[in-house]
Structure 1
Amino acid sequence: MRIFTAALATETNTFSPICIDRRAFEASLYAPPGEHPATPTLCTAPITVGRGIAVEKGWELIEGTATWADPAGLVNRITYETLRDEVLGQLKAALPVDAVVLGLHGAMVADGYEDTEGDLLSRVREIVGPNVLVAAELDPHSHLTAKRLAAADVFVYFKEFPHTDFVDRAEDLWRIVVDTLEGRVKPVMSVFDCRMIDVYPTSKDPMRSFVDKLMRMEAEDADILSLSVVHGFMAGDVPEMGTKMLVVTNDRKEKGDVLARELGLELFSKRGTFIMPQIDEKQAVSEALAAASWPVVIADLWDNPGGGTAGDATVILEELLANGATETAIGTIWDPMAVQICMAAGEGARIPLRFGAKSAPDTGNPVDGIVEVVRIVRDAEMRFGESLAPFGDAAHIRLAGIDIILNSTRAQSFDPSLFSVMGIDPTSKKILVIKSTNHFYASFSKIASQILYCSAGTPYPNNPAKTSYRRARRDIWPMVENPHGNETGA
Structure 2
Amino acid sequence: MVSAPRLASALALSSGNPAVRIFTAALATETNTFSPIAIDRQAFEASLYARPGEHPATPTLCTAPITVGRTVCAREGWTLIEGSASWADPAGLVAKATYEELRDEILGQLRQALPVDAVVMGLHGAMVAQGYDDPEGDLLTRIRDIVGPDILVCAELDPHSHLTAKRAAAANFFVYFKEFPHTDFVDRAYDLWDIAVRTLKGEVKPVMSIFDCRMIDVFPTSKQPMRGFVDQLMALEASEPDVLSLSVVHGFMAGDVPEMGTKLVAVTNDRAAKGAALAERLGRELYAMRGTFMVSQVDERTAVDVALAATKGPVVIADVWDNPGGGTAGDATVILAELIARGATDVAVGTIWDPIAVQICFAAGVGAQIPLRFGAKSAPDTGNPIDKIVTIKALKKNAEMKFGASFAPFGDAAWIYFDGIDVILNSTRAQSFDPSLFSALGIDPTSRKVLLIKSTNHFYDSFSKIASEIVYCSAGKPYPNRPAETNYRKARKDIWPMVENPWF
Give ranges in structure 1 of 5+ residues lacking alignment. Answer: 486-490
Counterpart residue number, 1:216: 235
- Equivalence map 1:1-40=2 (5 Å): 1-40=20-59
Counterpart residue number, 1:80: 99
- Equivalence map 1:359-378=2 (5 Å): 359-378=378-397
**CA offsets per residue over residues 299-342 of structure 1, 9 Å max, x none?**
00000000000000000000000001100000000000000000
Supply the distance in 1 between the matched residues of 2:58 and 2:402 (Cα, whole angstroms).
11
Provide the secondary structure at the position in 2 that maps to 1:261.
Answer: helix
Aligned length: 485
2:288 corresponds to 1:274 = no
State the Cα distance separating 1:222 from its structure 2 match.
2.5
Structure 1 residue ranges, 4+ long, deviating more than 2 angstroms after superposition: none
Supply the distance in 2 between the matched residues of 1:63 and 1:154 (Cα, whole angstroms).
20
Counterpart residue number, 2:466: 447
Provide the secondary structure at the position in 1 that maps to 2:188.
Answer: helix
| Aligned residue among 122, 125, 139 for 1:120 | 139
Provide the secondary structure at the position in 2 that maps to 1:180.
Answer: helix
**CA offsets per residue over residues 235-254 of structure 1, 9 Å max, x none?**
00000000000000000000
Provide the secondary structure at the position in 2 that maps to 1:405.
Answer: strand
Q: Which AA in structure 2 matches 1:408?
A: S
| Aligned residue among 181, 185, 195 for 1:176 | 195
2:161 corresponds to 1:142 = yes
2:245 corresponds to 1:195 = no
Supply the distance in 1 between the matched residues of 2:76 and 2:273 (Cα, whole angstroms).
33
Q: Which AA in structure 1 matches 2:274?
A: K
State the Cα distance separating 1:482 from its structure 2 match.
1.6
Counterpart residue number, 1:249: 268
Q: Which AA in structure 1 matches 2:271?
A: R
- Equivalence map 1:255-270=2 (5 Å): 255-270=274-289
2:428 corresponds to 1:409 = yes
Supply the distance in 1 between the matched residues of 2:301 and 2:252 (Cα, whole angstroms).
28
Supply the distance in 2 between the matched residues of 1:126 and 1:145 (Cα, whole angstroms).
18
Give TM-score scaled by structure 1 length: 0.99
Counterpart residue number, 1:488: none
Provide the secondary structure at the position in 1 that maps to 2:466.
Answer: coil
Supply the distance in 2 between the matched residues of 1:340 and 1:22 (Cα, whole angstroms).
21
Counterpart residue number, 2:149: 130
2:126 corresponds to 1:107 = yes
Supply the distance in 1 between the matched residues of 2:244 and 2:235 (Cα, whole angstroms).
12
Supply the distance in 2 between the matched residues of 1:134 and 1:218 (Cα, whole angstroms).
21
Q: Aligned residues: percent identity?
A: 75
- Equivalence map 1:57-68=2 (5 Å): 57-68=76-87
| Aligned residue among 321, 325, 328 for 2:340 | 321
Supply the distance in 1 between the matched residues of 2:49 and 2:192 (Cα, whole angstroms).
23
Supply the distance in 2 between the matched residues of 1:278 and 1:475 (Cα, whole angstroms).
27
- Equivalence map 1:153-168=2 (5 Å): 153-168=172-187
Supply the distance in 1 between the matched residues of 2:88 and 2:323 (Cα, whole angstroms).
15
**CA offsets per residue over residues 374-427 of structure 1, 9 Å max, x none?**
000000000000111000000000121100000000000000000001111000
Supply the distance in 1 between the matched residues of 2:439 and 2:80 (Cα, whole angstroms).
38
2:272 corresponds to 1:235 = no
Supply the distance in 1 between the matched residues of 2:31 and 2:246 (Cα, whole angstroms).
25
Supply the distance in 1 between the matched residues of 2:353 and 2:205 (Cα, whole angstroms).
47
Counterpart residue number, 1:459: 478
State the Cα distance separating 1:364 from its structure 2 match.
0.3
Supply the distance in 2 between the matched residues of 1:20 and 1:55 (Cα, whole angstroms).
35
Counterpart residue number, 1:346: 365
Supply the distance in 2 between the matched residues of 1:72 and 1:408 (Cα, whole angstroms).
14
2:309 corresponds to 1:301 = no
State the Cα distance separating 1:53 from its structure 2 match.
0.7
Q: Which AA in structure 1 matches 2:61?
A: L
State the Cα distance separating 1:484 from its structure 2 match.
2.0
Q: Which AA in structure 2 matches 1:65?
A: S
Q: Which AA in structure 1 matches 2:366?
A: E
Provide the secondary structure at the position in 2 that maps to 1:313.
Answer: coil
Supply the distance in 2 between the matched residues of 1:204 and 1:259 (Cα, whole angstroms).
24
Provide the secondary structure at the position in 2 that maps to 1:286.
Answer: helix
Supply the distance in 2 between the matched residues of 1:196 and 1:402 (Cα, whole angstroms).
41
Counterpart residue number, 1:433: 452
Provide the secondary structure at the position in 2 that maps to 1:198.
Answer: coil
Give ranges in structure 2 of 5+ residues lacking alignment. Answer: 1-19
State the Cα distance separating 1:292 from its structure 2 match.
1.1
Q: Which AA in structure 2 matches 1:461?
A: P
Supply the distance in 1 between the matched residues of 2:56 and 2:99 (Cα, whole angstroms).
23
Provide the secondary structure at the position in 1 that maps to 2:291.
Answer: coil
Supply the distance in 2 between the matched residues of 1:76 and 1:480 (Cα, whole angstroms).
33
- Equivalence map 1:382-401=2 (5 Å): 382-401=401-420
Supply the distance in 2 between the matched residues of 1:293 and 1:400 (Cα, whole angstroms).
20
State the Cα distance separating 1:165 from its structure 2 match.
0.1
2:98 corresponds to 1:98 = no
2:425 corresponds to 1:421 = no
**CA offsets per residue over residues 113-133 of structure 1, 9 Å max, x none?**
000000000000000000000
Provide the secondary structure at the position in 1 that maps to 2:417.
Answer: strand
Supply the distance in 2 between the matched residues of 1:286 and 1:474 (Cα, whole angstroms).
38
| Aligned residue among 329, 336, 360 for 1:310 | 329
Supply the distance in 2 between the matched residues of 1:411 and 1:129 (Cα, whole angstroms).
39
Supply the distance in 2 between the matched residues of 1:280 and 1:67 (Cα, whole angstroms).
37
Q: Which AA in structure 1 matches 2:370?
A: I
Supply the distance in 2 between the matched residues of 1:338 and 1:222 (Cα, whole angstroms).
58
Provide the secondary structure at the position in 2 that maps to 1:18.
Answer: coil
2:413 corresponds to 1:380 = no
Supply the distance in 1 between the matched residues of 2:106 and 2:418 (Cα, whole angstroms).
47
Provide the secondary structure at the position in 2 that maps to 1:5.
Answer: strand
